[in-house]
Structure 1
Amino acid sequence: MSPLPQELFDAIIDQVRDKETLKACALVATPFLPPSQRNLFRKIRLGGLRSGRDTPVFLAGFPHLVSYIRDLIIYQDTAWNSVAVGVVLRSARNIESLVFLGRALDWSHLGYEASSALLECLLRPSLQRLDLTHMKSVPTALISVATAIPVVSFFNVRMDVRKAISEQLHTSAPAPRLRHLILNDTGFAVHLICNFLLHPRKPAYTQQIERLEIYIDHHSASYDELIMAACAATLKYLAVNTEDIIRLPLLPSVLEVEMKVFVGENRRLPAFFSQNISQIASSLPLAETLTLVFILEPGWIPEIEWPEEGSLPIFGPSFMDRTQLLHLRRVHCILCRDTALGDMSAVFDRFVPAMESKMPGLRDRGILKCTLADLP
């Protein structure tokens, strides 16, 4: 029997981040095994090239290992085993984050065991985040259950439209807990999800949302405006990924706003950039922080010059006499690069004075900050 308490071994092993070290620790002695396994299996990928084809089957045979899972990433690959995945999902009782990456296949292709277990998993109180990607014919029951999760992200998710929404209302749907909604899609896919969330006979899915991230282009068909207006009373943070002019309703509670801007070969800001800034200024009266993320399109050859195109009216020399954005305390300009483009220091050296020339009213006031970051 060890003279040291188990809690001490647990505390030491919990500081280890390297997986190979954790594997070695698991072989040292019996007191090292549980904390090592707990950290090894905290984040698991099922499917995909990294995990091997037999991972779901292996885990299904060891329920105590599954109980350690907090972050679960599932890839629907060619070695899909619906029964084994279903067993893992039902056994992961303490899961906190679930990422489900489909293959643009129908929901029915998951198999009954996996699809039913997924719906059950989404009801767990411990689950704090769901990322659902590339899936067709998703039942409305899943979207309804997902609103009971605090953070939800949908990308290329298409709901089942074979039945009218009014025929699929669920009186037993869980109480909404949705606080952070991410809609990284446009066109028909986001149209269906927004229709569901805003249906007048549904529970108030959007009335507690505090953080909203949306993609806006000419295919959005004004659904972006509807979803923003629906959560205007509670919204504190807004992020827009845009390739077009944005139209914002009045958002009186937003304190932080982020706008992503794509810049191409000539490093010229889009023609709608200035208009979008004006929209933000007129629609977000309490905004304190404005983050502008400039994303260099991957594949372009880096250039030295960053053309100057005149200052933004709201941030001109008369900024201190403004009647809008009275609470603004920080404007953060981030130049995002693809690491494949190599050294971007020369481009960043031109980026900083270009931003200062666009916002001369912020210069030397401690408001404007420029940084260089890698694409996530």
Structure 2
Amino acid sequence: MAHHNLSGAFRATCPQELIELIIGETDSADKETLKSCALVARSFRPTSQKLIFSDLTILPPGRDSIIALKRLGDVLSASPRLALHVRTLHLVQPGFYKPCVWMQSDIPPLPAILSMLTNVESLNVRIYNWDYFHSNCEQAIYALIARSSLSSIELKEARLPTNARLLSLLRCLPASLESASMLNVYADTHWYGHDDPKSDSAELHQLRLASLHLHSFAPALFHWTISAVDLKCLRHLHTMVRKDTMNVIQQLLDGAVYVETYHLFFGSVFSLDETPNLEKMQSLRTLEISVELDWGEIEEVEGEGRHNPLNDAMRSLDTAPHTIEHLVLNLKIWDPDELYHFTGSVSFAHLAEDRPALRDVVVRIASGYGHSAPQRGIRHLNAVFYRLHKRGLLTILAV
């Protein structure tokens, strides 16, 4: 058999477009595979590096060290074009009580690194205690948040000592922002007049957000939303309801008349004198309601027995417009017997008849009671929702 030499002029070549297409199918989270691809050939390197740096975490759990941070700074300084590939950035504090190295005053690379990331579109910040920050690091983050390239931000598990500190961060958000998620954000619970964003309206961008997720214990965040967000631009909304935020949430809902998808989470076990009224949300097509049922935690209301959070959810559902096509109900239960509180609910008994546009109802059940609990719950809810079940509109899932 003849041996053929494929080197030189006879070497088979592959179009660069095909190489980019093949490597582009690799998950950007699979860094090890992409690093191997970058070493195969020079033609493989640009696309591999683009994917490696498209999603960057500072710093991953278990790799939070001074050496790793300095190495990242050296790589980006030597090859600034790599920093231009970063589209999604995660700033992570791995532990609740222990500050990570990049937050500290004696680590100079962080401000320099962040200043090179000029094309960041999505920013995810999970920092528990902002008191750990050196001022230089915090100001570098503020500058990053203000980038005109930013279209999405998620602020998660943040503990800020004052409303003023929270508002300083919010004032940095650029007008280009399209989506914002504030998840478990804590700040001083008192709302002081000198921190009122209405008094500083000249400093606030009018944000035209399409999507807003407010799962927070900070009333200041909701007041900021009313002042700084053009509510008529919202199409997707998620809010958690608590006693101390009920009034401002209602203001938000009254203005968010073009919202198409709304997720309403009842996170309080205390009685609510009022529940969200959805009647002005005439563009609403998908309504998702989340309720936690745990009778070990739910309070007893004097003269009324224990407060049933399902009552709050049902009162809000009764106010929803008849334009709703999709209803999702998430139930977190402990004991499946808690689901018997559905019995007699007029809202569910005549749901299909009252809302002719309704196409489907999905009920998701999660339980810490045991494997059999969701199955028992499914059997019970099939009986409660028998009219929907009969019409083929009902899907019940154990999750």
Question: Fold-level match, TM-score > 0.5?
Answer: yes
The letter for the 1-side match of 2:214 is L
Structure 1 unaligned blocks of 5 or more: 298-302
Specify which structure has the higher proportion of strand.
1
1:180 aligned partner: 211
Give distance in 2, aligned partners of 1:357 and 1:146.
Answer: 49
* Among candidates 353, 356, 363, match of residue 379 of structure 2: 353
The letter for the 1-side match of 2:100 is T
Q: State how 1:87-102 maps to structure 2 within 5 Å.
A: 87-102=112-127
User: Is 1:308 matched up with 2:345?
Assistant: no
The letter for the 2-side match of 1:178 is L
User: Is 1:237 matched up with 2:267?
Assistant: no
The letter for the 1-side match of 2:209 is L
User: Is 1:121 matched up with 2:131?
Assistant: no
**Segment drifting more, 352-361 vs 162-171:** 162-171
Give distance in 1, aligned partners of 2:194 and 2:246.
Answer: 22
User: Is 1:261 matched up with 2:291?
Assistant: yes
Give distance in 1, aligned partners of 2:378 and 2:197.
Answer: 53
* Larger Rg over CA atoms: 2
Specify which structure has the higher proportion of helix.
2
Deviations for 1:8-39, whole angstroms, at most 9, x for unmatched residues? 22211111223322222122221222222222
Give distance in 2, aligned partners of 1:147 and 1:226.
Answer: 24
2:181 aligned partner: 153
1:42 aligned partner: 54
Give distance in 2, aligned partners of 1:275 and 1:168.
Answer: 34
Deviations for 1:186-244, whole angstroms, at most 9, x for unmatched residues? 3xx1x112223334xxx55333222211111334342222222232x222111111035
User: Is 1:195 matched up with 2:195?
Assistant: no
**Contact 1:13-1:35 at 8 Å conserved across structures:** yes
* Among candidates 60, 63, 78, match of residue 73 of structure 2: 60
User: Is 1:78 matched up with 2:132?
Assistant: no
1:5 aligned partner: 15
1:300 aligned partner: none
* Among candidates 175, 193, 202, match of residue 171 of structure 1: 202
**Segment drifting more, 126-135 vs 244-253:** 244-253
**Segment drifting more, 248-257 vs 203-212:** 203-212
1:207 is paired with a residue whose SS is helix
**Contact 1:311-1:357 at 8 Å conserved across structures:** no
- Give 1:177 deviation, angstroms: 2.3
1:156 is paired with a residue whose SS is coil
**Contact 2:154-2:181 at 8 Å conserved across structures:** yes
**Contact 2:114-2:141 at 8 Å conserved across structures:** yes
The letter for the 2-side match of 1:15 is E
Q: 1:118 to 1:214 in 2, by over 3 A?
A: same
- Give 1:333 deviation, angstroms: 0.4
The letter for the 2-side match of 1:313 is V
Please provide the CA RMSD for this pair.
3.2
Give distance in 1, aligned partners of 2:110 and 2:310.
Answer: 46
